[in-house]
């Protein structure tokens, strides 16, 4: 499968975000992962649709908006109109509202012509989102608890990657994107890819390195 590296701009210096985004593209990134946090679903607050709108003209790479927010339906319009190419929403945030909210939100994202995905935290069985696999362009498996960059990869998630890939294959969506987010390094990326993930988010691994091109190609190889 085509491996894609999605550096997370959460680890960027926000005062020079535009420069970081341009540099990521020059250094071989495949997507720009935008971590949106609301101070409620997760503790920190990062940015909203305006950031996506401002970086949109600076790169031709797909913008991958990871919404770690309550009531995601209320924000879809803003991210879609800002130019996000894919929007992912958390199972937990949706499930709090109603049983059908996740599916409704995914359909809303698609109604804007934007790709959609469902996200599960490390403690949520991936089976919980099997019912929406047919709707999803991507599923995102968190390998840390969301909120902060620079955490350690939770190894139990490896098994969920395998289950997700097997299930995708079983429903005829073997080429679906399976994204892993949190604690990805050059030391664990081979195992992550072998388990069946093909989109790797990397925040600190890229931003803390002095050679972004080298790090991105290492993660991809
Ligand atoms: C965590 C975010 C991640 C994070 C990844 O809540 O969703 O995207 O920035 O950062 P690293 O790669 O440092 O774990
Ligand atoms: Zn993320």
| Contacts of 121 by beta carbon, 8 Å cutoff, 6+ apart | 90, 91, 92, 142, 145, 146
- Cβ of 185 below 6 Å from ligand 1: no
Which of 35, 64, 85, 177 is flagged as catalytic? 35
181 is catalytic: yes
Q: What is the pLDDT of residues 84-111, one digit of tens each?
A: 999 999 999 999 999 999 999 999 999 9
Strand-pairing partners, residue 201, are 6
Ligand 1 contact via 184 beta carbon (within 6 Å) = yes
pLDDT number for residue 190? 98
**How far apart, in whole angstroms, are the C-alpha atoms of residue 34 and residue 7?**
9
User: What pLDDT does residue 78 have?
Assistant: 98
pLDDT at 60: 98
The pLDDT assigned to 214 comes to 98
CA of 208 to the centre of ligand 1 (A): 13
Angle in degrees, CA 108, 112, 118, rounded to 5:
45
User: CA angle, corner 142, sides to 141 and 145, nearest 5?
Assistant: 160
Return the ligand 1 atom nearest residue 207 CA: 13
* pLDDT tens digits for range 8-30: 999 999 999 999 999 999 999 99
Q: What is the pTM of this model?
A: 0.98
- Mutating to test ligand 1, I would choose from 5, 24, 35 the residue with most ligand atoms within 8 A of its C-beta, which is 35
- Asked if residue 180 has its Cβ within 6 Å of ligand 1, the reply is no
Residue nearest to atom 1 of ligand 1 (CA): 146
| Domain residue ranges of the chain, discontinuous segments joined by + | 4-220
pLDDT digits over 173-221, tens only? 999 999 999 999 999 999 999 999 999 999 999 999 999 999 999 999 9
**What pLDDT shows up at residue 183?**
98
In which band, very low, low, confident or very high, does the pLDDT at 42 lie, cut at 50, 70 and 90? very high
Q: Burial-class residue 220 by CB neighbours within 10 Å (0-12, 13-18, 19+).
A: middle
Give residue 68's pLDDT.
99
- Identify whether the C-beta of residue 133 lies closer than 8 Å to the C-beta of residue 106: no
Residues 130-151 pLDDT 10s: 999 999 999 999 999 999 999 9
> Is residue 35 among the annotated active site residues?
yes
Give the CATH class of 4-220.
Answer: alpha beta
Nearest to 129 by CA among 195, 173, 86, 83: 173
Burial class of residue 16, CB neighbours in 10 A (0-12, 13-18, 19+): exposed
**pLDDT band, residue 121 (cuts 50/70/90):** very high
- Ligand 1 touching residue 149 (CB < 6 A): yes
Cβ burial, residue 58 (10 Å; 0-12/13-18/19+): middle
């Amino acid at each position: 499968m085509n491996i894609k590296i999605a550096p997370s701009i959460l680890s960027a210096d926000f005062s020079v975000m535009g420069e970081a985004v341009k540099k990521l593209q020059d250094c071989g990134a495949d997507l720009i992962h935008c971590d949106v946090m609301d101070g409620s679903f997760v503790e920190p607050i990062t940015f909203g649709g305006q950031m996506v709108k401002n970086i949109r003209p600076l790169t031709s790479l797909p913008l991958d908006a990871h919404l770690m927010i309550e009531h995601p339906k209320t924000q879809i319009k803003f991210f879609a109109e800002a130019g996000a190419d894919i929007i992912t929403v958390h199972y937990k945030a949706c499930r709090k509202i109603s049983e059908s909210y996740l599916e409704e939100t995914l359909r809303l994202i698609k109604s804007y012509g934007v790709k959609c995905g469902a996200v599960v935290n490390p403690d949520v069985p991936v089976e919980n989102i099997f019912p929406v696999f047919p709707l999803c362009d991507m599923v995102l498996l968190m390998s840390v608890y969301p909120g902060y960059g620079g955490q350690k990869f939770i190894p139990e998630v490896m098994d969920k990657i395998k289950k997700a890939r097997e299930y995708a294959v079983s429903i005829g969506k073997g080429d679906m994107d399976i994204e892993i987010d949190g604690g990805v390094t050059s030391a664990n990326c081979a195992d992550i890819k072998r388990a069946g993930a093909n989109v790797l988010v990397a925040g600190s691994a890229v931003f803390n390195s002095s050679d972004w091109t080298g790090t991105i190609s290492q993660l991809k190889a």
